[in-house]
């Protein structure tokens, strides 16, 4: 976009060029402000440089471009604020459709703000969504349970604790993703972070030990917020979980108490039934004092999720998992097999994590064993970023043949034919008292017939 003389940009010259629809939207926007002259001249400036007269075509690039221009101008006018408000308005009502704005704003918040201006609705009341609005992506019931269980766990993997912290800040607080990403280390405290008004947000206990160490380090920000969240999603089998999805879920699970107009999560323990009407716990304490009201327990139904398979190796270190498992003395043979398999996977995951811990790839290291159709257990990387598809084969003993399924064999064949790295990590002596005695043999090409032979007993593989 070429630069122009920045001294004149009167709105009335541009106005006739707008499409009819754009004119209506702009008029509606001006109606929100008693003194809209500031907005008129700001929009004159905007469209003089952007030259788009159908406003639904405005994009994130336009928004950034105009902000840069204003910064260069270096005047003290409110032009920037006015233009930002205009974009927020277009975003709130889906007049523009650039989803990248989701990263810096929360639609529900912006819409509430403008609804309040238009209809005088109180900001924290639930606003009924109009039907043309696309349904927001939220986390489903089962996965939300899984995540909430997961983030309560005590874990030693620092990159995982960081994911828990990211979840907490997004789901349990009002902090916006854009604030969290750019949070400066001056805003880190020993136990948590400061919000934009300087109030301390204290993190849950299982995160604090890690946080205490982290806050002392000379590092800003949560620039990797999106990565942390994607990683957290992967741990419960959700692909591409985003901060926006978490914020949408936070909005969706909050109910406003009609009595005090405060919003609380819809968890059972936050609500009490008084004369058959639910109110927040705090209000119920007040209402209790009046003996004519009867307070009831809300009945609780517990739905057991059907054994969601979380990727244990991604969460627990080998040593933690070993402690967890070895508590039980008598296990069925089948269950013991599964646990031995999990331990082997955790062992390999630890090694890969250690190898990658100073690179960005450690966030991409992923356990894939929750879904058997994958045909491998871990997606790892070389230091240069080359993918390694790892199938872990674990045993308590040493020197015995191992088995691979027909599906695993096919996946191996396919990946190797595509020139990818598929490796079997043969882990033996997994229950050794000292983890130094665990033996790991890496088989890079299982089809190398000079070293390995397939026996057609469910593809029993013996090392020659
Ligand atoms: Zn209340």
Q: What is the pLDDT of residues 130-152, one digit of tens each?
A: 555 567 789 988 889 889 988 99
Distance from residue 108's CA to the centre of ligand 1 (Å):
22
How many separate domains does the chain show?
Answer: 4
Distance from residue 149's CA to the centre of ligand 1 (Å):
27
Distance from residue 287's CA to the centre of ligand 1 (Å):
10
Instruction: Provide the greatest CA pair distance for the chain.
Output: 86
Q: Which of 434, 428, 435 is nearest to 399 (CA)?
A: 428
- Per-residue confidence (pLDDT) for residue 132, from 0 to 100: 55
336 has a pLDDT exceeding 80: no
305 has a pLDDT exceeding 60: no
pLDDT confidence band for 222 (50 / 70 / 90)? confident
* Backbone phi, psi, residue 398, to 5°: -120, 140
Residues 108 and 147 in one domain: no
| C-alpha–C-alpha distance, residues 96 and 311, integer Å | 39
Distance from residue 198's CA to the centre of ligand 1 (Å):
26
Residues 235 and 292 in one domain: no
**Which has more pLDDT, 72 or 63?**
63
Residues 64 and 173 in one domain: no
Domain closes at, from 91, 120, 149: 120
247 has a pLDDT exceeding 60: yes
Distance from residue 207's CA to the centre of ligand 1 (Å):
30
78 has a pLDDT exceeding 60: yes
Distance from residue 265's CA to the centre of ligand 1 (Å):
12
**What are 116's two structure tokens?**
């309040």
Alpha carbon distances (Å) from 389 to 209, 357, 372: 33, 18, 14
- Per-residue confidence (pLDDT) for residue 6, from 0 to 100: 46
Residues 284 and 373 in one domain: no
- Per-residue confidence (pLDDT) for residue 462, from 0 to 100: 60
- Per-residue confidence (pLDDT) for residue 108, from 0 to 100: 85
Residues 384 and 267 in one domain: no
Q: Which of 83, 77, 82, 138 is nearest to 107 (CA)?
A: 138
Distance from residue 279's CA to the centre of ligand 1 (Å):
5
Residue 230 lies in a domain: yes
Distance from residue 33's CA to the centre of ligand 1 (Å):
33
Distance from residue 263's CA to the centre of ligand 1 (Å):
8
Residues 190 and 258 in one domain: no
64 has a pLDDT exceeding 80: yes
123 has a pLDDT exceeding 50: no
- Per-residue confidence (pLDDT) for residue 308, from 0 to 100: 52
- Measured from the Cβ of residue 264, the count of other Cβ atoms closer than 10 Å reads 17
Distance from residue 273's CA to the centre of ligand 1 (Å):
12
pLDDT confidence band for 46 (50 / 70 / 90)? very high
Residue 306 lies in a domain: no
Q: Which of 228, 236, 227, 197 is nearest to 210 (CA)?
A: 228
Domain boundaries, position 49: 11-120
Q: What is the mean pLDDT of residues 266-283?
A: 88
- Per-residue confidence (pLDDT) for residue 327, from 0 to 100: 60
**Which has more pLDDT, 304 or 235?**
235
Q: Which of 139, 207, 141 is nearest to 168 (CA)?
A: 207
Distance from residue 125's CA to the centre of ligand 1 (Å):
13
How many percent of the chain have pLDDT more than 70?
Answer: 87
Q: What is the mean pLDDT of residues 336-358?
A: 88
- Per-residue confidence (pLDDT) for residue 332, from 0 to 100: 65
Q: Which of 45-54, 155-164, 279-288, 448-457 has the lowest mean pLDDT?
A: 448-457
Distance from residue 285's CA to the centre of ligand 1 (Å):
10
Distance from residue 344's CA to the centre of ligand 1 (Å):
51
Residues 319 and 431 in one domain: yes
Residues 317 and 433 in one domain: yes
Residue 136 lies in a domain: no
Distance from residue 253's CA to the centre of ligand 1 (Å):
16
Residues 282 and 366 in one domain: no
Domain closes at, from 72, 91, 120: 120
Round the average pLDDT of the chain to a whole number and report it: 83
Tell me how many helices (H) and strands (E) the chain has: 17, 15
DSSP track, 37-105: HHHHHHHHHHHHHH--SSGGG--HHHHHHHHHHHHHHT---SHHHHHHHHHHHHHHTTSS--GGGGGT-
How many percent of the chain have pLDDT more than 90?
Answer: 28
pLDDT tens string 405-420: 888 888 999 999 999 9
Half-sphere exposure of 423 (CA within 13 A, CB side): 20
Distance from residue 269's CA to the centre of ligand 1 (Å):
13
Distance from residue 133's CA to the centre of ligand 1 (Å):
30
Residue 165 lies in a domain: yes
| C-alpha–C-alpha distance, residues 381 and 421, integer Å | 10
Buried b (16+ CB within 10 A) or exposed e, 135-172: ebebbeeebbbbbeebbeeebebebbbbbbbbbbbbbe
- Per-residue confidence (pLDDT) for residue 2, from 0 to 100: 43
Distance from residue 363's CA to the centre of ligand 1 (Å):
41
- Per-residue confidence (pLDDT) for residue 179, from 0 to 100: 86
Question: Who's near 172: CB < 8 A, 6+ residues apart?
Answer: 250
Residue 1 lies in a domain: no
Q: What is the mean pLDDT of residues 102-116?
A: 87
Residues 245 and 341 in one domain: no
Residue 405 lies in a domain: yes
Distance from residue 300's CA to the centre of ligand 1 (Å):
20
Distance from residue 338's CA to the centre of ligand 1 (Å):
48
Distance from residue 189's CA to the centre of ligand 1 (Å):
31
Residues 329 and 429 in one domain: yes
Distance from residue 257's CA to the centre of ligand 1 (Å):
5
Distance from residue 291's CA to the centre of ligand 1 (Å):
18
Q: What is the mean pLDDT of residues 67-87?
A: 86
Q: What is the CATH number of the domain that holds 375?
A: 3.40.1350
Residue 70 lies in a domain: yes
Distance from residue 259's CA to the centre of ligand 1 (Å):
5
Residues 25 and 82 in one domain: yes
Q: Which of 36-45, 106-115, 330-339 has the lowest mean pLDDT?
A: 330-339
| C-alpha–C-alpha distance, residues 243 and 277, integer Å | 34
Residue 160 lies in a domain: yes
- Per-residue confidence (pLDDT) for residue 290, from 0 to 100: 80
**Which has more pLDDT, 229 or 76?**
229
Sign of CA dihedral 245, 246, 247, 249: positive
Distance from residue 206's CA to the centre of ligand 1 (Å):
29
pLDDT confidence band for 333 (50 / 70 / 90)? low
Distance from residue 179's CA to the centre of ligand 1 (Å):
29
Q: Which of 29-43, 269-283, 443-457 has the lowest mean pLDDT?
A: 443-457
**Which has more pLDDT, 446 or 302?**
446
């Amino acid at each position: 976009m070429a630069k122009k003389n920045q001294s004149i940009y009167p709105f009335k010259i541009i106005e006739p060029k707008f499409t009819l629809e754009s004119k209506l939207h702009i008029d509606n926007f001006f109606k929100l402000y008693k003194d809209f002259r500031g907005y008129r001249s700001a929009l004159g400036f905007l469209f003089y440089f952007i030259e788009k007269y159908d406003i639904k075509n405005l994009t994130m690039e336009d928004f950034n471009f105009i902000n840069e221009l204003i910064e260069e101008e270096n005047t003290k006018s409110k032009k920037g604020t006015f233009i930002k408000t205009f974009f927020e308005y277009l975003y709130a009502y889906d007049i523009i459709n650039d989803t990248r704005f989701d990263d810096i704003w929360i639609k529900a918040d912006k819409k509430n703000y403008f609804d309040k201006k238009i209809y005088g609705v109180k900001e924290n009341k639930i606003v009924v969504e109009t039907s043309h609005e696309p349904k927001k992506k939220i986390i489903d019931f089962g996965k939300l349970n899984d995540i909430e269980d997961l983030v309560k766990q005590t874990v030693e993997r620092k990159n995982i604790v960081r994911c828990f912290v990211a979840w907490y800040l997004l789901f349990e607080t009002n902090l916006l993703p854009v604030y969290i990403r750019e949070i400066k280390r001056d805003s880190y405290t020993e136990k948590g972070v400061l919000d934009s008004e300087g109030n301390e947000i204290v993190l849950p206990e299982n995160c604090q030990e890690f946080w205490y160490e982290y806050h002392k380090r000379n590092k800003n920000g949560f620039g990797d917020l999106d990565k942390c969240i994607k990683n957290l999603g992967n741990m419960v089998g959700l692909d591409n979980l985003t901060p926006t999805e978490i914020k949408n879920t936070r909005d969706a699970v909050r109910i406003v108490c009609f009595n005090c107009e405060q919003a609380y999560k819809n968890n059972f323990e936050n609500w009490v039934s008084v004369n058959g009407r639910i109110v927040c716990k705090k209000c119920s304490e007040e209402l209790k004092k009046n003996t004519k009201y009867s307070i009831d327990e809300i009945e609780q139904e517990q739905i057991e999720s059907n054994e969601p398979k979380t990727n244990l190796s991604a969460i627990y270190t080998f040593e933690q998992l070993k402690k967890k498992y070895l508590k039980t003395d008598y296990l069925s043979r089948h269950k013991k097999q599964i646990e031995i398999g999990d331990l082997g996977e955790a062992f390999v995951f630890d090694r890969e994590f250690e190898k990658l811990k100073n690179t960005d790839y450690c966030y991409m290291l992923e356990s894939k064993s929750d879904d058997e159709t994958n045909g491998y257990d871990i997606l790892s990387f070389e230091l240069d970023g080359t993918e390694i598809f790892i199938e872990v084969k674990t045993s308590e003993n040493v020197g015995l043949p191992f088995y691979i399924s027909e599906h695993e064999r096919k996946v191996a064949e396919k990946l190797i034919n595509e020139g990818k790295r598929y490796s079997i990590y043969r882990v033996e002596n997994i229950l050794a008292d000292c983890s130094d005695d665990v033996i790991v043999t890496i088989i890079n090409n299982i089809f190398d017939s000079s070293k390995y032979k397939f026996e057609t007993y469910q593809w029993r593989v013996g090392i020659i």
